[in-house]
Structure 1
Amino acid sequence: MTGKSLSGTTAVAVAGILVAFLMAAGCLGGQSSDTPGSQQITVTGSTTVLPIAEKAREAFEESHASTGIMVSGGGSSVGVKAAGEGTADIGTSSRDLKPEETAGYPDLVKHHIADDAILLIVNPGNAVDRLALDEVRGIYNGTYTNWNQVGGPDAQIVVVGRDSASGTREFFSEYVLKNEDFVKTQEEFNSNGGIQQKISQTPGAIGYVGLGYTEGVKALALDVNGTAVEPTLEKITSKQYPISRPLFMLTNGEPDGLARQYLDFVMSGEGQQIVASLDYIPVQG
């Protein structure tokens, strides 16, 4: 009787192993990793592109319920490296590729998904409504340290900017600061949201952010040849507002599978409506 019991147990164990093997091989109708519904991808990089990537993910997954898209920030440099080295399926960037990145990752493909502008923001209680680009440069290189030097109240200027991984910082440094050194007292944050929160809570602060980060702060007009140009979508699209740039998603070679589907969605009519709803500028009609 004991022998019959052991034999039965062995048979059950062998059968279990066989079933597990067949399921792993896809022979019993189990979902393999090649099944589109079971795919997962990662999207990482620019915090400027982050709201677009996240909202697009939410909408995409509503009609692709069994897919998984992991979206995170970290900065444009993080996105470029992750896409180039294959640690993410899609990288995001709010700046163009540097020559060394193009050389190091020759297979990177840029997908121009939207346009954006960089806004100068201050606390809503600040009386200053407009600055010339030269004044902005003077604030960020340390020439101006008090708001009364640029037409404001007698109050110290608290300079706020992005960290070195930021594509927004790269663009701001080249276009506004003309590659001069940032003032050493600048407080650095690793996200647009961090700057937005700091400015909203600090009366004397000034910072720069992407278009989607204006809640609780005041966006300044830029003085262009004596005319105050506000950062409205109309004036950004018509190039009257001077600080604008393209936004990219990056893939290592031409994308396929779920990455291709997700990128196609971002560029679709619905995806570009999401871009517009977040106050960025669509690139497809």
Structure 2
Amino acid sequence: MKTFIASIAAVLLLALPGAARAGTVTVKGSDTMVILGQRWAEDFMKKNPNTRLQVTGGGSGTGLAALINGTTDVAMSSRPMKKAEEDKLRGVTKNAPAQISVARDGVTFYVHESNAVSALTPEQLKGIYLGDITNWKDVGGKDAPIVVYSRENSSGTYVFVKDNVLEGEDYVASAQTLPGTAAVVNAVSKEKNGIGYGGSAYAKGIKELKVKKGNEEIEPSEANIKSGKYPLSRDLYFYLRGAPAGDVKAFIDFALSPEGQAIVTKVGYFPVK
């Protein structure tokens, strides 16, 4: 299921050869969601050859900023829109944004496959990313310095971890910032002492950590993420300037259809329907 890893820094421009381009839908934002957006767009355009889908990554914050300034039809976001962002959008459109949950995900923490550590508590994860815990031996591993990888601050996953793991505190200054989840996975797969985080669909060639709460170690499984038992479960969103209409509505309807939700599963996330 977790087989789709690609460079998410690139712009993915998806159009069927020879298709008439009567309509264009632009979709921009979350790097976590960009592969999913690509797959939806590919299959949607096969059924609707007169509609062109342009899917771009760059981070949730980038997508929401584009929605505010009117340069995208759909913003993909792996976090809820902030109040300040909503206020800016309302100031432009005079309307409330439309928020649509299109998939479920669990933010997972990755370590090298050889790492003996298999589970960490939320407090330990927080300590590592604040710089209070700097050696694996302090959390049950070998005597080796912890190499911390993070995402850029435009990332919705960066914000999610800051809000839900670090409780609003700042990341340790020594954390190595990388441009996308695929880059984090690649770095951790090569660094035996590394730790990183990202969406569940990207976890290939590394070990996913369980989250320990009390005596229970909770894995980021489908059942635990869909039920919300996994502590770092979250929705993935589409945001629009208002109620969807026309080609945009047709695309969103497809994403939420049984066929579209089956694509969610194939990519490695979990359906909302």
Please indicate, yes or no, whether the TM-score normalized by the shorter chain is above 0.5.
Answer: yes
Counterpart in 2 of 1:258?
Answer: 247
Q: 1:165 to 1:192 in 2, by over 3 A?
A: same
Instruction: Say which SS state the counterpart of residue 281 (structure 1) adopts.
Output: coil
Counterpart in 2 of 1:31?
Answer: none
Can you give the 5+ residue segments of structure 2 that lack an aligned partner in the other structure?
A: 1-19
Query: Within 2, Cα distance between the matches of 1:236 and 1:48?
Result: 16
1:152-188 superposed Cα distances (whole Å, 9 cap, x missing partner): 0111100001111011111110110011121110001
Question: Aligned-pair distance for 1:232?
Answer: 0.7
- For residue 40 of structure 1, the aligned residue among 17, 24, 34 is 24
The question of whether the paired residues in 2 share the 8 Å contact of 1:84 and 1:251 is answered with: no
Equivalent residue runs for 1:169-188 within 5 Å:
169-188=158-177
Give the residue type in structure 1 aligned to 2:198: V
Counterpart in 2 of 1:237?
Answer: 226
Counterpart in 1 of 2:56?
Answer: 72
The question of whether the paired residues in 2 share the 8 Å contact of 1:111 and 1:250 is answered with: yes
Q: Percent of pairs identical after alignment?
A: 35
Give the residue type in structure 1 aligned to 2:72: A
Q: CA RMSD in A?
A: 1.2
Question: Aligned-pair distance for 1:258?
Answer: 1.5
By relative contact order (CA 8 Å, sep 6+), the higher-ranking structure is: 2
Larger radius of gyration: 1
Counterpart in 1 of 2:41?
Answer: 57
Instruction: Say which SS state the counterpart of residue 149 (structure 1) adopts.
Output: helix
Query: Within 1, Cα distance between the matches of 2:118 and 2:100?
Result: 35
Aligned length in residues: 249
Give the residue type in structure 2 aligned to 1:157: I
Give the residue type in structure 2 aligned to 1:60: F
Residue 114 (str. 1) matches residue 114 (str. 2):
no
Residue 209 (str. 1) matches residue 193 (str. 2):
no
Query: Within 2, Cα distance between the matches of 1:167 and 1:37?
Result: 32
Question: Aligned-pair distance for 1:216?
Answer: 0.9
Q: 1:37 to 1:257 in 2, by over 3 A?
A: farther
The question of whether the paired residues in 1 share the 8 Å contact of 2:104 and 2:225 is answered with: no
Query: Within 2, Cα distance between the matches of 1:237 and 1:259?
Result: 26
Question: Aligned-pair distance for 1:279?
Answer: 2.3
Query: Within 1, Cα distance between the matches of 2:99 and 2:67?
Result: 11
- For residue 264 of structure 2, the aligned residue among 241, 251, 275 is 275
Can you give the 5+ residue segments of structure 1 that lack an aligned partner in the other structure?
A: 1-35
Deviating 4+ runs (over 6 angstroms): none
Give the residue type in structure 2 aligned to 1:99: K
Counterpart in 2 of 1:134?
Answer: 123
Residue 248 (str. 1) matches residue 232 (str. 2):
no
Provide the TM-score with structure 1 as the length reference: 0.85
Equivalent residue runs for 1:22-33 within 5 Å:
none
Question: Aligned-pair distance for 1:238?
Answer: 2.3
Instruction: Say which SS state the counterpart of residue 92 (structure 1) adopts.
Output: strand
Equivalent residue runs for 1:71-90 within 5 Å:
71-90=55-74
The question of whether the paired residues in 2 share the 8 Å contact of 1:139 and 1:145 is answered with: yes
Counterpart in 1 of 2:216?
Answer: 227
Provide the TM-score with structure 2 as the length reference: 0.88
Question: Aligned-pair distance for 1:37?
Answer: 5.3
Query: Within 2, Cα distance between the matches of 1:194 and 1:91?
Result: 22
